[in-house]
Structure formats: C-alpha cells, structure tokens
Amino acid sequence: MTTTSAEPDTVGAARSGRLMWAILGLVLLADAVDVIDATVTNIAAPTIAGDLHGGEGLIKWLGTAYMLAMGVLLVVGGRLGDKYGQRRLFLIGIGGFAAASLVAGVSPDAGLLIAARVAQGAFGALLTPQGMAIMVKSFSRDMLSKAFGLFGPVLGLASVAGPVLAGFLISADLFGLSWRPIFLINVVLGGVGLVVAVRILPRDGGERSTVVDGWGSGLLAATMVGLLYGLIDGSTNGWSAVPVVSIAAGVLFFAAFAYRQRTATHPLIKPSLLRNRGFTSGLIVGLVAFAAMAGLLYVLSLFLQEGLHASAQQASVALVPLTAGIIIAAFAAMGGLVAKLGRTLVFVGLAVVLAGCGWILALVDRSGTGVGLWALAPALFVTGVGMGLCFSTIFDVALGDTDPEEAGSASGSIGSIQQLSSAIGSAGITSIFFQAAHPGLGHAMKVSLIVVLVVTALSVPIVALMPSRKPAGPEAEPEAGPETGAVPVPEPEPAQ
C-alpha cells in the first residue's frame, strides 16, 4: 500500500491556519484595547475628577495625556520593533500596558493617574505597530486580505464599546470601585494577551542596524508637552508667566524639531514628504479637522453629564447614534466611495460635519440645558456620518501623490498626526468649554460648537490642494520600512 504525505500536509496546513487566526485575534485584541482606552475617559472624566477632586485640569489631561504619549512615540515604536524584533516589543508593550492600567486603576490621586495614562499611551505606542508588522511578515496574501477586512468592523465596535463600557461599569459600581474597573479590566485582558503572545508569536531577532531618531522624538515630545501644558495650565489657573513660557518653549522646540527633520540622516518624517503639496495639505486638513472633532466628542460628553445631568450610562447611550453614524459612513467609504470620489468625499464629509454641528448648535441655542437626549439623537447621527466619511478618507487621499518608497514614512506620520491632533483637540476645545462656562453650560456648549464650526470650515479650502484620488493598486499599501515596522508581504508558498 502506497503512503503519501497528503494527510500530514493537511494536518500541518490546518495547524498553521489555526495559528494565523490566533495571531490575528491577538493583534485585534491589542488594537481594540487601544481604541477603547482612548475613548473611555470621554464618559468617565467627570466621575473620575469628582472622586479624586482633580477639577478641570484632570478632566483636560485624562484623554490628552494618553493620546500625547501615543502620538509622540508611535513612529518610534515601529522602528524599535524593526531594530529589536516585533515579538519582543509586542510583549513589552502589552505587559507594560497592563501594568500601567493597574496603576491607573488604583491611583489615589490625580497626579499618579495622569502619569499612568502617559505610561499607557507610551506602552500602547510600542504595542500597536508590532501587530501589523507581524501579520505582514507571517501571513499569506490571502490571509492578509481577510485580516484587513476584519479590522474595520472590530475597531468600529471597539470605538462604540469604549464609552458604553465606561458608562455601564461606572453605573454598576462593581465592588464599590466606581470608575476604577474601566482601567482594571485591562489588567485581565493584558495578562491573557501576554500569555497567549508568549506562546504563539513568531520569534524574530530584529535588524540592529535600524536607526531610531531619539533626538527628533525628544524634540517632538518637548514641543507637544510645552504647548499642551501651557494651554491647559493657562486656561485652568490663569495666564501667568508659567503657561506663557511653556507655550513659548514649545514653539522653540518645534523650530528645533523642524530643523532636525531637515538635517537628520534618518528623520522621523522624510523631507520629500514635507515638500509634497498634496500630502502636506492632507496632513493639515487631518490635523485641523480631527482636532475639532476630537474636542467636540469630549465636550459633548461633558455637556450631557454636567449640563443635562445625565448619568454616565445615559450619556454613553446618548452618544451611540453619533458612533453608529461614524461606523456606517466609514464602511460606506471603505466600500468604494473613497476610490470613486477621492477628495470630493472629503468635501462631503466636512460639509456633513458642519451641518450636523450646526443642527446641534440650533438645538442648544433654542433650549440650552433643557434640550432632551432624544432631540439630540438625529443631529448626533448626522454629525457622526460626516466624521465617518472624514476618518476613512482624508489620510487615504493624502497618500495619493506619494511615491512608493515614501509610503512607510507617510503612514507612520499619519498615525502620529491622528493621535496628536486628538490630544490637541481634546485639550483645546475642553479648555474653551470651561472658559465659557461662567454664564452656564448651555453657553459653554454653544461657544464650543461655534469654535468647532469655524475650525472645521477653515480646513475646507485646503482640501482643494489635496490629491484628487487615493493611491490605486499595489502602491497603495505601505512598503517595508522602519517607520511602520512592516516588511514586504511574503508570497504564498506553492501548493504541495
């Protein structure tokens, strides 16, 4: 009787397939936890500030600290993965994230909590770039295509889950812990993820010749800390010499960062990208529009809880129409609209955001803090639709005029800009909200909405300078590079 290797090959292929799905599940878990932690404080901030007596300053820093650390270190995290190995950085990132979450969950005061949020963002920046690089390195093209198809739905659900989870956990008051479980749950998820990662992630030694621009990263960090600290301290405690000097120092550090990018051998952002009008226009539109939208999301939660006296759970449910609009529009854009319409879809998205914000402004102007949650729902949904069209489109189109060899640096820059713009927006718009709150929170919400409308409108003319279409074909995929931590997609092995 003749024997063949068909059965062992089949078993091996099945085992390999299960391993790939397990790796995908692990990567999705890590990215989902990042999205959830970026949004939980939108709902939880008033409760946390009240419990720790942190006041306005704590509310402003809760989201900003996380996104600031993530944005500054995201590109560096990808390069460190290339240098020391994606598996090693993934393990450090997920373990450190869980430890930082534990500190956040047991923090007795505002200072330690903010430090823990910074640590969460820093370890998240080490963690999230590695998953994509591991998949690109390990998966066949067919499996990679399936994996990319799952990222949108999973991360969309995670963006809904963050505020909703925060609302329900706070309302449940598990073991009398109030808001603390929103961070402590990460200890369980991170611990499970760490054990699974040790068992299934492929080993890689990294490429020690990879250069990490520490000076550039440090200057960028100093820039953002100086600007944001000055903005938050000045708007909270008054414009004394300290916030003014802090902002001036931030400007000087930015000038040094820009000079470093022009002269460094391995800059964080390739100089050729900054000379690309289409790409830089897209970055500016993204920075301005996303800052306005992130700030709007934050102050909406404050208005619902502090102005309309909704509970954390009620506020999280009230924001579901907005999140549903984001998810529906994002899927519509990814389903082919962005490829067909290009920058026209960016115009449409921004116009819908302006319409939705104008609708909310009209409702608040008419009823103030007497506006009902159900009355806000349609306007929130329209605003979410506009946001979803922008989130899925602006940076896709911005890559339209980049060369293939620039794709890695461009993708890394985009990830950092998304996080930094969110940090700037949440700090800036929240500061405006509190500054305008003296006549009442209805007035504060109106002023915040007007600022969001003006800032968003300012980004509209710049869209005309963006590429007309997103990149098409293979060049649309980021190439290998230390900026993304990615490597070329391996060709599938021939069938045995």
pLDDT (tens digit per residue) in 128-149: 888 878 887 778 777 776 776 6
Final residue belonging to a domain, choices 248, 265, 282: 265
Contact present, 85 and 205 (Cβ < 8 Å): yes
pLDDT at residue number 487: 31
Please state, for a pLDDT cut of 90, what percent of the chain lies above it: 33
Final residue belonging to a domain, choices 265, 289, 307: 265
For residue range 323-346, list pLDDT tens digits in order: 889 888 888 887 778 888 888 999
How far are the Cα atoms of 85, 112, 308, 380 from residue 325, in angstroms, in the given order? 39, 36, 22, 8
> Is residue 282 one of the residues assigned to a domain?
yes
Residue 411's pLDDT band (boundaries 50, 70, 90)?
low
Separation of alpha carbons 157 and 282, rounded Å: 26
Residue 494's pLDDT band (boundaries 50, 70, 90)?
very low
> Is residue 492 one of the residues assigned to a domain?
no
Residue 282's pLDDT band (boundaries 50, 70, 90)?
confident
Main-chain dihedrals φ then ψ at residue 25, nearest 5 degrees: -60, -40
Average pLDDT value over all residues in the chain: 83
Considering the domain architecture, whether residues 247 and 283 belong to the same structural domain is answered as: no
- Number of domains composing the chain: 3
pLDDT at residue number 408: 59
pLDDT at residue number 144: 73
pLDDT at residue number 92: 95
| Strand-pair partners of 471 | none
In the block, which residue shows the tokens 């990149």?
471
The rounded Cα 472 to chain-centroid distance in angstroms is 25
Considering the domain architecture, whether residues 108 and 190 belong to the same structural domain is answered as: yes
> Residue 309 belongs to what domain range?
270-485
pLDDT at residue number 405: 63
Separation of alpha carbons 128 and 35, rounded Å: 10
Considering the domain architecture, whether residues 231 and 350 belong to the same structural domain is answered as: no
> Is residue 407 one of the residues assigned to a domain?
yes
pLDDT at residue number 258: 86
> Is residue 491 one of the residues assigned to a domain?
no
Quick check: 62 pLDDT over 80?
Answer: yes
pLDDT at residue number 149: 63
> Is residue 48 one of the residues assigned to a domain?
yes
Quick check: 488 pLDDT over 50?
Answer: no
Considering the domain architecture, whether residues 240 and 132 belong to the same structural domain is answered as: no
Considering the domain architecture, whether residues 142 and 180 belong to the same structural domain is answered as: yes
pLDDT at residue number 409: 65
Considering the domain architecture, whether residues 106 and 251 belong to the same structural domain is answered as: no
Residue 5's pLDDT band (boundaries 50, 70, 90)?
very low
Q: Which of 153-157, 213-217, 297-301 bottoms out in mean pLDDT, i.e. has the lowest?
A: 153-157
Considering the domain architecture, whether residues 344 and 437 belong to the same structural domain is answered as: yes
Between 127 and 148, whose confidence is greater? 127
> Is residue 21 one of the residues assigned to a domain?
yes
Residue type, 259: Y
> Is residue 490 one of the residues assigned to a domain?
no
For residue range 357-369, list pLDDT tens digits in order: 999 999 999 999 9
Separation of alpha carbons 434 and 58, rounded Å: 12
> Is residue 80 one of the residues assigned to a domain?
yes
Q: Report the pLDDT averaged over residues 424-430.
A: 88
For 242, counting Cβ atoms within 10 Å of its Cβ (0-12 exposed, 13-18 middle, 19+ buried), the class is middle
Considering the domain architecture, whether residues 260 and 298 belong to the same structural domain is answered as: no
Runs of H (alpha helix) within 85-138: 86-106, 110-138
We report the CATH number of the domain holding residue 349 as 1.20.1250.20
Strand segments (E) across 257-415: none
Considering the domain architecture, whether residues 233 and 315 belong to the same structural domain is answered as: no
Separation of alpha carbons 446 and 453, rounded Å: 10
Main-chain dihedrals φ then ψ at residue 483, nearest 5 degrees: -70, -35
Residue 486: helix, strand or coil by DSSP? strand
Considering the domain architecture, whether residues 261 and 282 belong to the same structural domain is answered as: no
Q: Report the pLDDT averaged over residues 417-444.
A: 88
Considering the domain architecture, whether residues 385 and 258 belong to the same structural domain is answered as: no
Considering the domain architecture, whether residues 50 and 134 belong to the same structural domain is answered as: yes
pLDDT at residue number 361: 96
Cα–Cα nearest to 127, from 1, 45, 30: 30
Sign, CA dihedral 334-339-344-346, equals positive
